Amino acid sequence: MLRIDGSLLEGGGQIVRSAVALSAVTGTPVEIFAIRKNRSRPGLANQHCAAVRAVAEACHARVTGNTPGSCRLSFIPGSIVRRDISVDVGTAGSVPLVIQAWLPVALEEGGSLQVQGGTEVWFSPTIDYFTEVFLPALGPAGAGVRVEVIRRGYFPVGGGIVRVTAEPAALPRVTVGGATGIGIRSCSSNLPDHVADRQAASARAYLIRETSEEYPVSIRRSEGPGTGSSCTVWKGAKGSCALGKRGLPAEKVGEAAAAGLVAGLRAGGDVDLHLSDQLLVYLARGGGSYTAPEFTLHARTMCWLLSLFGLPVTATERDTVEFQR
């Protein structure tokens, strides 16, 4: 059994989510200890438990320790099967991060996953970043993934529902060349219509001023158990998102999202800082290469973790960092 220290490097939920996914696709039993040891609330949180459940159901894994607050997890994978799975985070924990743990496993045999939780939450990609930046960067594998946002969920209530269906896919070499989309998506729940409109207008004006380029706008308004707003902007394999909060003008939300994208575009590299680590599982298994503006702690963590499973990725740092397998 492969033993993994969950306190090293990034020391957070990324290690747990990625380790169980790699365990499933490689058939390697794992034990993760000292999970989130250095965080203010050590151990597994609800969203980590939900991710483990999703992966476990996709591969008939035997799991012990998958409860909130647990600092040790044992995961013994079985055979990957096509299944229809449903998990409820139980909080506003990130739906996209649960999906990201399940997807490498689901691409083996196909299947579906319905997740209830937060679709747009702090310190996590929005569901729109997942659909418009992450999936296109996977090329043919991402093209076989369908996402239905049934209901959006915002912190602190959550209650969003997303259903994802994946078809089996042989992982191609990663080049990110297929990510060519461009756009602005402004969303709100239980707020006046003008909130999403103002976010989008502010993002659009900023992008025109800084890039001299027109970005198509899409608006999503909904009613759900919680109240909130988000703005996601993207171009190719780079994206940025910002969330609204009480007292923060809608214009500031749109501008923050746009400014994040402009900074990413000017920083160089094929992908943005966040996508650089999210693609590493696929790069390690399918081969290929791409560049990113810098070697982030999350990317370093993924490279370390992949090496433990016998899937080393080379990271070469120059003006940008090149990841290659």
- Is 60 noted as a catalytic residue in this protein? no
What is the model's pLDDT at position 226?
A: 85
Residues 132 and 21 in one domain: yes
The upper half-sphere exposure of residue 212, i.e. CA atoms within 13 Å in the direction of its Cβ, equals 0
The mean pLDDT value for 22-30 works out to 98
Claim to verify: residue 250 and residue 152 sit in the same structural domain: no
Phi/psi for 159 (5° steps) reads 80, 5
Asked if residue 177 belongs to a domain, the reply is no
Pair 203, 253 in one domain: yes
Q: Are residues 74 and 156 in the same domain?
A: yes
Is residue 303 scored above 90 in pLDDT?
Answer: yes
pLDDT in tens, 4-18: 999 999 999 999 999
| pLDDT score recorded for residue 109 | 96
CB 238 within 8 A of CB 273: no
21 and 143 assigned to the same domain: yes
Q: Flag whether pLDDT at 177 surpasses 80.
A: no
One domain, residues 114 and 247: no
Quick: pLDDT tens for 35-71: 999 999 999 999 999 999 999 999 999 999 999 999 9
Model pTM? 0.96
DSSP for 192-227 reads -HHHHHHHHHHHHHHHHHHH-----EEEEEE--SS-
Catalytic residue among 48, 60, 274, 298: 298
161 and 44 within one domain: yes
Are 48 and 90 spatial neighbours (Cβ–Cβ below 8 Å)? Answer: no
Is there a single domain that holds both residue 52 and residue 124?
Answer: yes
Distance CA 89, CA 155 (A): 13
Question: By CB neighbour count within 10 A (0-12 exposed, 13-18 middle, 19+ buried), where does 195 fall?
Answer: buried
Residue 324 lies in a domain: no
Of 59, 52, 66, 65, nearest to 26 by C-alpha is 59
- Cα 225 vs. chain centroid, distance in angstroms? 23
Q: How confident is the model over 71-109, as pLDDT tens digits?
A: 999 999 999 999 999 999 998 999 999 999 999 999 999
Q: What is the pLDDT of residues 242-275, one digit of tens each?
A: 999 999 999 999 999 999 999 999 999 999 999 9
Query: Is the model's pLDDT at 322 over the cut of 90?
Result: yes
Q: Specify the number of domains making up the chain.
A: 2
Distance CA 123, CA 242 (A): 10
Same domain (yes/no): 80, 166: yes
**In this model, does residue 178 exceed pLDDT 80?**
no
Residues 6+ apart with CB under 8 A from 83: 57, 58, 111, 112
Query: How far lies 324's CA from each of 62, 216, 313, in Å?
Result: 33, 33, 6
Same domain (yes/no): 143, 166: yes
